[in-house]
Amino acid sequence: MTITYQDLYLKARNALSGAGIEGAQLEAREILCAAAGKSPEQLYRDLSLYTTEAIAEKTEALLARRLAGEPVAYIVGEWSFCGLPFYVSPAALIPRIDTEMLAQLVMNRLKEYEGHTRVLDLCAGSGCIGLTAAAYLKNTRAVLVDLSDGALDLCKRNIRRHKLTGRAVYLKGDALQAPSHALGQFDVLVSNPPYIPSGDFPSLDASVKDFEPLMALDGGEDGLDFYRAITKLWMPALKPGGHLLYEVGIGQAEKVAWLLVKAGYENIRITRDTGGIDRVVEGQRPKEWEAPDLLHTVPGEEPPAEETPEPQ
């Protein structure tokens, strides 16, 4: 059999496109790169060359997994986030472009400080948010906290991949419990927590509900369990004047912002992602603060209309 890399690429792209998969061109490239052990640059260089039967068979096997619904990121074992490659696995959510807005805002807040800064990435998953900040901001140290052993293994591998040993560490911890005082305090606390309401799981895309970890998705009855807990329990981990930033789901921004209002946060902002959806909610710890009892907020409680914070 004589077949070129171009032939394999076109066959994979057409199969993905015919299955209605968006981004068929990108995914076909990623699958072929994984099968051939090549970078995208090497693949483009070699498109006109003949490949081997072994590579053709591996491409077919990887393509079959994708057509069966498995996300391409899990198939190839890595994905790009903010221009950086990260190892991924079914132990953690796949880094998404919507979350890049959150990472950029984290870096913007860290740049407000002079000298060395610390960022805490809570519910870190692959560690992509905290490690992106540490990779691009050389004076920043990152602490990655997750409850999943599989996610923490990804954090360890990604720390090594980006040569951040010494400036980034990973720790096992539960976002629903108060932090240890040994953690110290941070300039920025960022979290992309589980926020899918439990009742919404049947309607999720199969590539999400059948392959991504339930532990990283389920936010409780109304999707806000982690926001309530983190807002109350983790403020002591912020320095006075430190910033808390959350990614939120569709329709959750005002409710989460209201939790921050009730907790006494200042300078609350809501930022839209590139699709025009309210995606990031943030607030700043005041210099003097006393924690209210947020954990006893009634699930689904709506803020009074006249007191709902406006996006800035």
Please give the chain's pLDDT, 312 residues, in tens.
589 999 999 999 999 999 999 899 999 999 999 999 999 999 999 999 999 999 999 999 999 999 999 999 999 999 999 999 999 999 999 999 999 999 999 999 999 999 999 999 999 999 999 999 999 999 999 999 999 999 999 999 999 999 999 999 999 999 999 999 999 999 999 999 999 999 988 888 888 888 898 889 999 999 999 999 999 999 999 999 999 999 999 999 999 999 999 999 999 999 999 889 999 999 999 986 554 444 444 334 444 443 444 443
Output the pLDDT for position 13. Answer: 97
Report the predicted TM-score, pTM, of the whole model to 2 decimal places: 0.87
Output the pLDDT for position 209. Answer: 84
DSSP line for 161-216: HTT-BTTEEEEE--TTSPPPGGG--EEEEEE----B-GGGGGGS-HHHHTTS-GGG
DSSP 2: -
